[in-house]
Structure 1
Amino acid sequence: MSRVLIAGESWVTQSTHIKGVDSFTTSSYVVGVEPLRRALESRGHQVRHLPAHLVPAQFPADADALAAYDVVVLSDIGANSLQLAPEVFERAVPGADRLGALRGWVGDGGGLLMVGGYLSFTGFEAKAAFRNTVLHEVLPVELLPEDDRVELPAGACAAVTAADHPALGGVTGEWPPLLGYNRVLPRPGTEVLATLGSDPLVAVAPYGSGRSAVFTSDCSPHWAPTPFCEEWDGYARVFGGLVEWLAR
């Protein structure tokens, strides 16, 4: 059993309704982590989810806090949310270098997985911004300086390039289509285990005494539609395999 922290995979949506000369707004809170949480828990892992709105205040600030976990998963949560704790952003008080602490923790033996989304890697309008941080060097891939999203509205299936790698969890057969991903470039020494087109979908590499991995598409809608994240038994194998490889 591994102890897994998943940060991100939730959001608040606000809609404006206009009816003639009148208008009003409604808000909703959406949690997208459930397919990933269920998949990992089904394989015996202990999962803590830190929703996106709590990341700025509660993400582990140092090696001691990170030591509570074997694997950290960042999914659809931008670098600003990890860097800008409330005391830093709102009160201009120096705080912890949490991305620096995460880099050091991986280098000392931790496992890091980044999952794709509009606020992963470089992200929508480059707002995820991990390329500009110290965490960039931990990832097994090079990030683009511009918006890196590739939308695949007709869907595309992954091509597995290393089916026997343990990080894929022994999954076999064709993968269901995905609807998009973040484009990245492999670094020297990176093992690319699956691709979408010519771009990495799953890639892994060592970092210091630890390990890092990426899944450049999503773990929930919209890039990961229901046939992929809810109906395919390979979903738990792939994400379980990644977590188990990262946690050794």
Structure 2
Amino acid sequence: MKLLLAGETFAATTSVAAGGDVLTSAAWVNGATAFNAALAEEGIAVTQIGGDRCAAEFPFDLDALAEYQAVVISDVGALTLLVTPEARAGRVGVNRLEVLKAYVEAGGGLMLAGGYMGFQGMFGTARFYDTPVEDVLPVRCLPFCDGMEVPQGLQASILRPSHPIFAGVEGPLPPILGMNKLDFRSDGSSQLLAACHHRGADWPLLAIRNHGSGRTVAWATDIGPHWLSQDFLRWPLYGRLMANMIRWLAGHK
């Protein structure tokens, strides 16, 4: 089984003032290391296109996406996919969010994961609100900054423990340290599998939907650090839960 992961790479530049001198260093980080390794152990082959490469390398058509049974978009914003090299040069081209919608409707599986650049985003800059990707999700994005930091930890409630995504996964889930606020699509098209209670409200953590011939998952927190706590990443069932989501997306559950 083949999975395409888009995003989860970060370039950081740090400046340190030492007296009158300023030293600058740069680092490149892959936030999906644990995710990729866990899925490999579950027999799922991950092809990752880092966020820095998505504008040029993310597939432009259904034929290219059809190589994969599922696609995960994680911590890379809508503009990175919308502003293609052709668009940047002022030429008419492809809307890859429309391609992703068509991919789902034709039978593909799409998961949107949370993070600072997930859904609408911590600063409102991920911008999946009112897009073709939002059309197929089991949730609606909020039209403003949707990220919340909860350093004391959030405890998820599993609402449908008998669902195949929780096969072999015994709760409770380890704590998470933040998530994106989302509006569950309560029109009968979707199922809410897990939620977190915070400041008097219940927020969707894991929701699923059958749309067209395909399936979608909204996972409202990170697939790796920092919103996934170290307790979650070291949890023996972390890989099983992530793999179950992908297998369900691909129609294998």
CA distance in 1 between counterparts of 2:181 and 2:167 reads 23
Corresponding residue for 2:220?
216
Corresponding residue for 1:50?
49
TM-score (norm 1): 0.96
Corresponding residue for 1:242?
245
Alignment equivalent of 2:162, drawn from 152, 161, 164: 164
Letter in 2 for 1:108: A
CA distance in 2 between counterparts of 1:37 and 1:169 reads 20
SS of 1:170's equivalent in the other structure is coil
TM-score (norm 2): 0.94
CA distance in 1 between counterparts of 2:39 and 2:126 reads 25
Corresponding residue for 1:98?
96
Letter in 2 for 1:58: E
- Computed over aligned residues only, the root mean square deviation of the Cα atoms, in angstroms, reads 1.0
Alignment equivalent of 1:228, drawn from 227, 232, 235: 232
Q: Does the CA-based 8 Å contact 1:10-1:51 persist in structure 2?
A: yes
Q: CA deviation at 1:133?
A: 1.6
CA distance in 2 between counterparts of 1:174 and 1:134 reads 34
Q: CA deviation at 1:78?
A: 0.3
Letter in 2 for 1:135: V
Unaligned runs of 5+ in 1: none
Superimposed CA distance per residue, residues 57-110 of structure 1 (whole angstroms, 9 cap, x where no aligned partner): 000101111111000000101001111112312x11222111111100100100
CA distance in 2 between counterparts of 1:127 and 1:169 reads 35
Q: Does the CA-based 8 Å contact 2:5-2:46 persist in structure 1?
A: yes
Corresponding residue for 2:72?
73
Q: Give the total of aligned pairs.
A: 245
Q: CA deviation at 1:233?
A: 1.6
Unaligned runs of 5+ in 2: none
Q: CA deviation at 1:46?
A: 1.4
